[in-house]
Amino acid sequence: MHETDRHGAQQPSSTLTSRTGMLYYPVALVARLPFAMMVIGVLTLVVSARGSVELGGLNSAMVGLGIACVGPLIGAAADRFGQRPTLLLAGAANSVLLGALAWVAFSPAPTWVLFLTSFAVGATAPQISPMSRSRLVTIISNELPRQRRPRLLSTVLAYESAADEVIFVFGPVAVGALATTLGAWAPIAGAAILTLCFVTAFAMHRTSAPAKTAEERAATLAPASELWRPALLVTVFGIFTVGLFFGSMLTALTSFMQDRGDAESAGLVYGVMGIGSAIFAIGVALLPARFTLRSRWLVFALMILAGTALLQTADDLPRMLLSLAMMGIGIGPLLVTLYSFGARRSPEGRSATVMTMLGSGLMVGQSLAAAITGVVSTDLGTRAALVLPLVSAALAVLAGAANWALTPAGREPGITTGPIDLD
Of the candidates 208, 251, 394, the one whose C-alpha atom is nearest the C-alpha of residue 309 is 394
SS3 12: coil
Of the candidates 95, 75, 83, 97, the one whose C-alpha atom is nearest the C-alpha of residue 24 is 83
Dump pLDDT digits (tens) for 298-340.
Answer: 999 999 999 999 999 888 888 999 999 999 889 888 988 888 8
Tell me: pLDDT of 49 over 70. yes
Residue 107 CA: distances (Å) to CA of 10, 49, 93, 153: 60, 9, 21, 48
Enumerate residues 6+ apart whose C-beta is below 8 A from 411.
Answer: 421, 422, 423
How much is the average pLDDT of 207-230? 63
- The domain limits of the chain are 23-406
Enumerate residues 6+ apart whose C-beta is below 8 A from 54.
Answer: none
d(CA 77, CA 87): 10
d(CA 166, CA 157): 14
Identity of the amino acid at 272: V
What was the pLDDT predicted at 156?
A: 80
Residue 228 CA: distances (Å) to CA of 34, 68, 154, 303, 346: 30, 16, 25, 29, 11
Tell me: pLDDT of 191 over 70. yes
d(CA 125, CA 127): 6
Of the candidates 301, 328, 360, 352, the one whose C-alpha atom is nearest the C-alpha of residue 35 is 360
How much of the chain is in helix, strand and coil states, percent to nearest 5?
A: 80, 0, 20
Q: Is the dihedral of CA 37, 152, 136, 76 positive or negative?
A: negative
Q: Which CATH class is domain 23-406?
A: mainly alpha
d(CA 254, CA 248): 10
Tell me: pLDDT of 421 over 50. no
Of the segments 125-134, 176-185, 294-303, which one has the largest average pLDDT value? 294-303
φ/ψ of residue 306, rounded to 5: -65, -40
Kindly state the DSSP code that residue 184 receives in the 8-state scheme. T
SS3 213: coil
Q: Are 60 and 41 in contact (CB under 8 A)?
A: no
Dump pLDDT digits (tens) for 257-291.
Answer: 878 877 656 767 777 887 778 788 777 777 887 88
Identity of the amino acid at 231: A
